[in-house]
Structure formats: C-alpha cells, structure tokens
Structure 1
Amino acid sequence: MEDTEIINLWKSYGQKLEESLHLNRQNAEEITRLKVRSFLSPMKPVKLFAIIVGIIWVGLIDILIISNLPTGNWFFIISAGIQVLLTKLAIIIYLYQLILIHQADISEPILQTQHKLARLKSTTLWVTRILFLQLPVWTTFYWNKSMLLNGTIPLYMLQTAVTLTFTFVAVWLFRNIKYENKDKKWFRLIFDGKEWTPVLKSIELLNQVKEYKANA
C-alpha cells in the first residue's frame, strides 16, 4: 500500500471519528433535554396549584380586611395585611417560575437553559424566605383591645415568648436559606420535594453535558 493511500485512509478514519464524536455530543444534548423536561414537568402542576390556592386565599383575606375596617381591629388588619402582601409577592414569583419552566422545556442552547435553571433555583430560595417571614403575624392577628386591657401577666409573658420565638425563627431562616447550606439537614428537610430536587438534578445534568463538550 502506497503512502498516499495510507494517508487518505487515515484522514478518512479521522473524519469519521470526528463525525461520530459530533453525533454523540448531539445525542447527549438531546437526551439531556429530554431528562430535564421529565424532571421539570412535575413542577408545573405544583406551581399552578400553589398559584390558584394563593389567589383564592388572598381574595378571602382581602375581604376579611375590608370587613374589619369599620371595627378598627388594627391588630388583625395589620397582621393580615402583611400576610396577604407577602403571599401576593409569592404568587408573582410562582408565575415567573412557571414561565421559566416552560421556556426551559423548549430546545435551546445548553447555556441558555442553565441560566433559566439558575434563576429558577434562586427564585425558589427567595419565595421560601419570603413565605417564612409570615410566621410572626400568625401570632398577632388574633390580638384585640380587650385582650390587652384584661389579660393576665402569664398571658402577656406567654404571648411575648411565642411572638419573639416565631420572629427569631423567621429572621433566622430568611438569613440562612442559601444555596451554600443545601447539604445541611434542616435545609434538606425544608426543600426535599418537587419544588427543589428537580431543579438540582437538571442543573447537574446540564453541567455534565457542558463538561463533556469542553473535554471532547
């Protein structure tokens, strides 16, 4: 066999190998997209259910706030107002997350999908932090003028301890719910489920594809 034929065979083999590697990369990306869709799909009904229930809830609370305005029970009005305001903010975030999940389902470059998943992860942390800020008002909405005027010292002490405890927990969670704490037991207890696990699995898959493409 002449040198020219050997060189041509080698070039042909190299070209086929390159085509095979390119096809493998494409197949890996497509399989990854399918897996990401399968991970994110169960999140849609959860988010949609939360939005529907949230809208119904804030509607009822708004009615209660308006109906209590004539009586002037400001403990209830302020507590319920804070709670419903935070819930409305959470609903807006859930709507934004539904858009992100839908967009992540569309075939697009891996990098763009990674950005959307990063925002989905970030907003999941934020909406949880916001919802936990509601804890203190659940200990104050039932206060009234009669309770303050006619209550006993043990009642005041108990109520103060409960409210301060809930406030401390709310502030602590707001400050410590961060991605850096994802491996801690209390964090996993809060986020274990369809709100969090699919996002992490999807991000991990896309990172693997990115590394594969970089090393290929």
Structure 2
Amino acid sequence: MNELELKKLWQVTNDKLEQSFVIQKENIEDITRVKIHNLLSSMKPIKIFTLLIGILWVGIGGIALGSIYLYAFSEANKFFLFSATVQVLLTGIALFFYIYQLITIYQVDMTEPILKAQQKIASLKISTLWVTRILFLQLPVWTTFYWNTSMLENENWFQWIVQGIATLSFSFVAIWLFFNIKYENKDKKWFQLIFNGKEWTPLMKAMKLSEQIDKY
C-alpha cells in the first residue's frame, strides 16, 4: 500500500470518526434534553399545589383584612393587623414568583437548544432563591400577631424580655437568611436542609446534566 492510499484511508477513517462523534453528541444532547424536560416537569405538581394554597391563603386573608380596614379598623388589634398584613403581602409577592416559575417550566421544550434550557434553569434557580428569601422574612410577624394592649398593661418585665428575645431572634434569623440564601452556599448543611426537596433537587439535577453537555 503506497503513501497516497494510506492518506486516503486515513482521511476516510477520520471522516467516519468525526461523523460518528457528531451523531453520538447529537444523541447525547437529545437524551439530555428529554431528561431535563422530565426533571423540570416533575416540579409542576408541588408548585401548582403551593400556588393554589397560596392563592387561597392570600385570597381569604386579603378579604378578611380588607373588611377590618374598612369596617373595624378602630376596634381592631393593631398588632394582629400589622402582622397579618405583612404576612399576606409577602405571601402575595411569593405567588408572583411561583406563577413565573410555572410559566417558565411549561415553556421548556424538548426540541429547543440546550442553551435555552440552561437559561431557563438559571432563571428558575434565581427565582427559587428569591422566593425562599421573601418567605423567610415572615418569621418575625409570627411572634407579634398575638400581641395586644392588655399585654402592655399586665405582663411583667420578665415576660416582655422573653417575648423580646423571641422576636429579635426570629428577626435576626430572617435577615440573616435573606442575605445568605445564595447559590454560593449550596454545599453548606443549613442550605441543604432548607432546599432539600422537590422544588430544588430536580432543578440541580437538570443543571448538572446541562453542564455535562458543555464539558462534552
């Protein structure tokens, strides 16, 4: 076999290998897109359930609070009114994030490029972190809704010290979590304790799959 024939054989073999590599890569991308779609779709039930509960909670709470503000504001317990208003408002903000997430998940298409899927995964990750931060801001008002004027008149200093410690502690935890819930802390135990569930785990698996395609 002369040099020219060897070169032709090498070229043919190289072309076949490149073609095989391209086909293999396309197959891997197709399988990855299907897996990503299935992982993100698995998040739909819990998000729909949470959204429905949230809408019910905000709807009932909003109607009740509206009635108090309109017809019984002067007689209402202002501590309860303030606490409930903050809680309902924060829950309402969280609902917008859940609606956005559901729309994003339903827009994921198995035939779209991996890059678009990665962008949607990134937006879901960011919105999940934000909605968790916002919901944790509710912590302090769960320690103030039962306050009333009679407590100010009748409770002794020791009871108020205990109450103050509880409220300040919840406030500190809420603020600390708001500023520290970020993706850079994903490997820390407290972060994993909060985010270990059906709203986060499938998202992380989808992200890892999309990153593997880039490495490939």
- Give the TM-score category using the shorter length: over 0.9
Matched to 1:17, the amino acid is L
Q: Which runs of 5+ in 2 are unaligned?
A: none
Question: What are the superposed Cα offsets for residues 107-160 of structure 1, whole Å, 9 maximum, x if unpaired?
Answer: 211112111111111111111010000000111111122222222222212211
Q: Is the 8 A contact 1:44 1:98 kept in 2?
A: yes
Q: What percent identity do the matched residue pairs reach?
A: 55
CA RMSD, 1 decimal: 1.5
C-alpha distance in structure 2 between counterparts of 1:105 and 1:198, whole Å: 16
Q: Is the 8 A contact 1:104 1:116 kept in 2?
A: yes
Q: Is the 8 A contact 1:82 1:137 kept in 2?
A: yes
Please tell me whether residue 186 in structure 1 is matched to residue 194 in structure 2.
no
- Following superposition, the deviation at residue 98 of structure 1 comes to 1.0
Q: Which runs of 5+ in 1 are unaligned?
A: none
- Following superposition, the deviation at residue 63 of structure 1 comes to 2.4
- Please, what TM-score do these two structures have when normalized by structure 2? 0.92
Query: Which residue of the partner structure matches residue 123 of structure 1?
Result: 127
Q: Is the 8 A contact 2:47 2:98 kept in 1?
A: yes
Query: Which residue of the partner structure matches residue 82 of structure 1?
Result: 86
1:65-214 alignment runs, 5 A limit: 65-69=65-69, 70=72, 71-212=75-216
- Following superposition, the deviation at residue 183 of structure 1 comes to 0.8
- Please, what TM-score do these two structures have when normalized by structure 1? 0.92
- Range that drifts further, 69-78 or 1-10: 1-10
C-alpha distance in structure 2 between counterparts of 1:102 and 1:173, whole Å: 30
Matched to 2:35, the amino acid is K
Indicate the SS of the match to 2:108: helix
C-alpha distance in structure 2 between counterparts of 1:51 and 1:57, whole Å: 10
Q: Is the 8 A contact 1:110 1:210 kept in 2?
A: no
